[in-house]
Amino acid sequence: MNRTLLLLIVCCTCHFGCSSEENSSVKIGFIGPLTGGVSANGIGGRNSADLAIKLANSDPTKKNQYELVVLDDECKPNIGIQVATKVAANPNILGVVAHYCSAVAVGTVDVFHKFGMPMIVWGAVLPKITYGNSYPEVHRVNGTMINQNDVAAKFMVDMGYKTWVIIHDTTDYGKGHNKYFSESLEKYGGTILGSFGVTADQQDFNAELTKIKSLNPEVIYFGGITPIGVRIRTQMDRLNISAVFQGTSGIISDAYIEGTGPLAERTLAFREGDAAERLPGGSVFLEEYKKQQYSSPPEAYGPFAFAATNLLIAAIENTGSNRERITKYLNQVRNYDSVIGKITFDEYGQNMVPLITKFVVQDGDWVIWEQSEYKSGERNLSQKP
């Protein structure tokens, strides 16, 4: 008996000895929703960040080897705060590329600030994340929903549409879109016939859609993310509503097209930044992404995660392993070339994205508006194919 005990004790001590061995590579954190309703976007972002790390490691001019520490926030604030604490409290992790979900990011910026952890948001669009505080650690490469909706409203009014009905989910994401789109639409002279808040896990939209049918709007604006977007689009068809379906950045994903099938045709959506394939670095990104044979696509925000990871690597290359200096470096980023265009942070750490790209679904693909047959007049948005 005593022998067994001795063995156990020896094993324990040995095991602690082994685990304290240090890895020589530089660690970067990645946080995103890898499980749950929006996991497609989280996994796309994760793969893109992983790609950036792999490319940096194969680049001989880089001083360090990098390692990505991936954590799942489940799109839930309490889990987000938990993993943010884990990343920020680990002194070996120098910076973090974090969050697709706005409600999570709002909560975790405090944690990152408390630990002095430089972070770059890669997908969450709520303005408050950067503009609601003055933390030097917080940055964001993607734009906010303010610019997105302004462009969307102007574009649609210029196309000659006059009446809208808004459906938004009651998360901060959907509510924010509702708010900013309504404001912009008022400015440009569109009319809102009605707006409906739905919960993010609602399955049946017949009540709302029946009412909408009687209002007979030209456009249905949807502020929310893919899963309910798919449900609303398919149920619209069952009730024979032929209005144009206009979405937001939240539905730009391949999952939306897979979910709705042929019904996805002529869905409109808007996203900050230029489309990856139109940028010189973008096509390289897509090619390299293909080469790695990831099992799922980068999705809409993959390029942002890729750019954010690259930016963080650049910061570490230039300043060495010190969180404060990395934060300082990031705060001074101006006109940094990336796959999403030039990155320039304002005093809140927000990238001032000048460009919003318009997308339309054509033959089962998200096509840039300017290159689509809808723009050239071969197809008509308001008519069923």
Binding region for other proteins (CB under 8 A): 1, 4-5, 8, 11-12, 15-16, 18-19, 34-35, 39, 42-43, 46, 70-72, 75-78, 81-83, 85-86, 88-90, 102-103, 106-107, 110-111, 114-115, 126, 128, 170-172, 174-175, 197, 199
Count of beta carbons in the 10 Å neighbourhood of residue 238: 10
Closest CA to 172 of 144, 151, 152: 144
Residue 373 CB, shortest distance to other proteins, in Å, is 36
Please, which residues bridge with residue 269 across strands?
359
Q: Which is nearer to other proteins, 39 or 319 (CB)?
A: 39
Count of beta carbons in the 10 Å neighbourhood of residue 314: 18
- Residues 6+ positions from 13 with CB-CB distance below 8 Å: none
Residue 75 CB, shortest distance to other proteins, in Å, is 7
Cα distance between residue 67 and residue 93, in whole Å: 9
DSSP H or E segment with residue 105:
helix 102-115
Cα distance between residue 59 and residue 82, in whole Å: 34
Residue 151 CB, shortest distance to other proteins, in Å, is 23
The 8 Å CB, 24+ separation contacts for 62-65 are 62/313, 62/317, 63/317, 64/25, 64/26, 64/316, 64/317, 65/24, 65/25, 65/26
Q: Which is nearer to other proteins, 28 or 219 (CB)?
A: 28
Q: Which is nearer to other proteins, 128 or 379 (CB)?
A: 128
Q: Which is nearer to other proteins, 84 or 269 (CB)?
A: 84
Please, which residues bridge with residue 252 across strands?
none
Q: Which is nearer to other proteins, 42 or 303 (CB)?
A: 42
Q: Which is nearer to other proteins, 296 or 344 (CB)?
A: 296
Q: Which is nearer to other proteins, 8 or 332 (CB)?
A: 8
Residue 129 CB, shortest distance to other proteins, in Å, is 10
Residue 107 CB, shortest distance to other proteins, in Å, is 4
CA angle 175, 179, 185 (to 5 degrees): 140
CA of 7: how far to CAs of 12, 38, 242, 291, in Å? 9, 47, 74, 48
Cα distance between residue 269 and residue 267, in whole Å: 7
Cα distance between residue 121 and residue 136, in whole Å: 13
Residue 48 CB, shortest distance to other proteins, in Å, is 14
Residue 34 CB, shortest distance to other proteins, in Å, is 4
Q: Which is nearer to other proteins, 177 or 266 (CB)?
A: 177
Residue 214 CB, shortest distance to other proteins, in Å, is 24
Q: Which is nearer to other proteins, 93 or 279 (CB)?
A: 93
Joined tokens for residue 255: 């999952």
Cα distance between residue 229 and residue 232, in whole Å: 5
Cα distance between residue 71 and residue 80, in whole Å: 9
Q: Which is nearer to other proteins, 42 or 349 (CB)?
A: 42
Residue 280 CB, shortest distance to other proteins, in Å, is 31
Joined tokens for residue 301: 């925000």
Residue 326 CB, shortest distance to other proteins, in Å, is 20
CA 313, chain centre distance (Å): 20
Closest CA to 247 of 233, 262, 263: 233
